[in-house]
Structure 1
């Protein structure tokens, strides 16, 4: 009787040992833990920090940058200030209207003041001449996105136009012959009348 009992216990032990050793292969449904660990390690590899989730560009960001690139005619690196690009894009096509600064119509300085208020929370002087007197002057070769570009019609003439530099020699402005648009500083008219660039410094 005692021998029979020992035999049954030994057989049961062997059976349980066999079951646990072969369960992963025989029963894939029990493998839930392994893929989760592997997935976490895989994602951590992208971030370079196993304690933090990976940061990857979202589809929404990519689509937005592509839209801004096509609308504004810019070659973007997908690292630019989306707030500035979005705000300028929203104003594209607004008709020119002297003395105004709404999306029903705006002049050049009105457009610039609205964009700076919306994007940076900065209130600028209303006229292009006043803006020029309150910016840090920078060389044309040192312009950054968000700098202001000023124009005059020759030596000794007053500043008559202002725009917002974007990149690649292009700037956004409200032109009297087309409203809010993006133009190039290399266009003969703007190349000839370009006077200076200025950087707005936050107070």
Structure 2
């Protein structure tokens, strides 16, 4: 069972328990009112959590769908021709789900909330140093299982690839969670 299915089933189960608990000892028409009121107040935060997980999964799906279609070019943000640098790629992908990112890996590293490497979740932005040691100059999207997707021009690659974050362990700088 995947995480999203588990969360949905947990929400439904919790709502059922609230309805049963609210109904004990209360008259029939009041039971309906109490259950509806309780259910309505409990739902928004849980729905937001499910919605956020779904949005992150969709962001990863969009990024993966661009593999083989996007070209890397330093300093370029050309959505009509699908030519991006690393940060204009993440900017483009997140914008597809209504999340505004600035252009530039350093600028993006100041958006959202800090995330420790051990707490990375799918959809988090990971920031690396690929040119000047210790300076943020590359960004990708964490996709889980120690991997991230990014737009790069390195070796034989020119475009969107999936890499192991462990291959960049000496160059890893920080991560951010944006919603």
| TM-score scaled by length of structure 2 | 0.60
Which residue among 146, 170, 179 is the counterpart of 1:192?
Answer: 170
Contact 1:96–1:105 at 8 Å: present in 2 too? yes
Encode CA deviations 1:48-99: one digit per residue, 9 max, x unaligned: 99xxxxxxxxxxxxxxxxxxxxxxxxxxxxx965522331122112121222
| Among 83, 87, 91, the residue aligned to 1:113 | 91
Q: Do the aligned partners of 1:108 and 1:163 also contact (CA within 8 Å) in 2?
A: yes
- Give the 5 Å matches for 1:129-140: 129-140=106-117
Counterpart contact for 2:140–2:148, Cα < 8 Å: yes
Distance, in Å, in 1 between the alignment partners of 2:130 and 2:64 is 28
Greater relative contact order: 1 or 2 (C-alpha under 8 angstroms, separation 6 or more)?
Answer: 2
> Equivalent of 1:95, from 68, 71, 80?
71
Is residue 181 of structure 1 aligned with residue 156 of structure 2? no
Q: Indicate how the Cα distance of structure 1 residues 106 and 144 shifts in structure 2: closer, same or farther if over 3 A, else same.
A: same
- For the residues of structure 1 that align with 2:60 and 2:130, how far apart are their CA atoms? 29
Unaligned 5+ residue runs, structure 1? Answer: 1-47, 50-78
3-state DSSP class of the match of 2:161?
Answer: strand
What's the CA shift for 1:104?
3.1
SS at match of 2:90: helix
Q: Cα deviation per residue 1:166-190 (whole Å; 9 max; x = unaligned)? A: 1001111101222111111012xx1
Return 5+ residue gaps in structure 2 as ranges: 1-12, 17-52
Q: Residue 170 and residue 101 in structure 1: after superposition, are their counterparts in 2 closer, same or farther (change >3 A)? A: farther
Structure 1: 4+ residue segments shifted above 6 A: none
Q: How many residues align?
A: 123
Q: 3-state SS of the aligned residue for 1:149?
A: strand
Instruction: Output the aligned Cα RMSD.
Output: 2.6
What is the rounded CA distance, in whole Å, between the counterparts of 1:172 and 1:153 in structure 2?
A: 15
Once residues 101 and 110 of structure 1 are traced to their aligned partners in structure 2, the CA distance between those partners, rounded to angstroms, is: 8
Contact kept? 2:57, 2:122, Cα under 8 Å: no
| Distance change in 2, residues 1:161/1:123 (3 Å) | same
Offset of 1:153 from its aligned partner? 5.2
8 Å contact 1:148–1:197 — kept in the other structure? yes
